[in-house]
């Protein structure tokens, strides 16, 4: 089973993306951070690939960078072939985004930058900043409006 993890600080749209890709409202979606307490796993089919998708949810609860939380996140991502790093470029990069980025660099797995909440082409200029994370070309998506999801999954498949 191929495994793909969705990571990012709270409120960037991880659960929205998970739900959109899984096609069910399985994960909790909410306006405030920290609602999804545990990692959620769901199955998706894409071009004949069965992919186990993991919403790492509340494993990244902002300021808490204790060892236990980090280990739980690492456990959830064990065996993942690729990681979708979700960001909200309309909000700009925050310290929490950079902490996640540093942590992902140490994991040494393929990372795909999903620039979420790019609901229309007029939001695309916000994406330029994301090149600075050092993970290559950011892909514009909108979990809410189902934009860019095929391009995102095509990129994921290059790592499988
Ligand atoms: P999580 O904490 O990373 O799991 O984020 P959620 O999926 O709970 O989403 C946080 C907020 O962002 C919710 O209010 C969502 O409705 C909103 N959101 C998620 N995706 C999009 C999107 O593509 N466009 C816009 N405009 N809002 C979004
Ligand atoms: Mg969530």
Please identify, by atom number, the ligand 1 atom nearest to the C-alpha of residue 143: 23
Give me ligand 1 centre to Cα 2, in Å.
25
Ligand with an atom nearest the CA of residue 120: 1
In the chain, domain spans? 2-157
> Contact 49/3 with Cβ under 8 angstroms?
no
* pLDDT score of 34: 47
Using CA atoms, how far apart are residues 80 and 110, in angstroms rounded to an integer? 9
For residue 118, the CA-to-ligand 2 centroid distance in Å is 18
Structure tokens at 109: 């797995």
Q: Which of 37-51, 80-94, 105-119, 143-157 has the lowest mean pLDDT?
A: 37-51
Sheet holding 49-55, edge to edge: 40-46, 49-55, 2-7, 82-87, 111-115, 139-140
Mean pLDDT of 95-106: 90
Per the model's pLDDT, the better-predicted residue between 39 and 43 turns out to be 43
pLDDT band at 42 (very low <50, low <70, confident <90, very high): confident
Mutate to test the pocket of ligand 1, among 28, 29, 96 (most ligand atoms within 8 A of CB): 29
Question: Are the C-beta atoms of 121 and 147 separated by less than 8 Å?
Answer: no
Q: Which residues line ligand 1 (CB under 6 A)?
A: 8, 10-16, 29-31, 33, 36, 116-117, 119, 142-144
Annotated binding site: 8-15, 55-59, 116-119
**pTM, to two decimals:** 0.90
Task: Provide the pLDDT confidence category of residue 82 given band limits of 50, 70 and 90.
Answer: very high
Q: Just give the CATH number of 2-157.
A: 3.40.50.300
Complex ipTM value: 0.99
């Amino acid at each position: 089973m191929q495994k793909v993890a969705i990571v990012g600080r709270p409120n960037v749209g991880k659960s929205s993306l998970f739900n959109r890709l899984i096609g069910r409202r399985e994960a909790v979606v909410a306006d405030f951070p920290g609602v999804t307490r545990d990692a959620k796993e769901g199955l998706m089919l894409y071009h004949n690939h069965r992919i186990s998708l993991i919403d790492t949810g509340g494993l990244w609860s902002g300021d808490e960078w204790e060892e236990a939380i980090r280990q739980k996140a690492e456990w959830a991502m064990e065996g993942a072939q690729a990681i979708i790093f979700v960001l909200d470029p309309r909000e700009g990069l925050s310290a929490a985004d950079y902490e996640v980025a540093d942590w992902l660099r140490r994991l040494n797995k393929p990372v795909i930058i999903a620039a979420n909440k790019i609901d229309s082409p007029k939001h695309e200029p916000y994406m330029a900043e994301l090149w600075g994370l050092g993970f290559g070309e950011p892909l514009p998506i909108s979990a809410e409006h189902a934009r860019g999801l095929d391009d995102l999954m095509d990129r994921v498949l290059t790592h499988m």
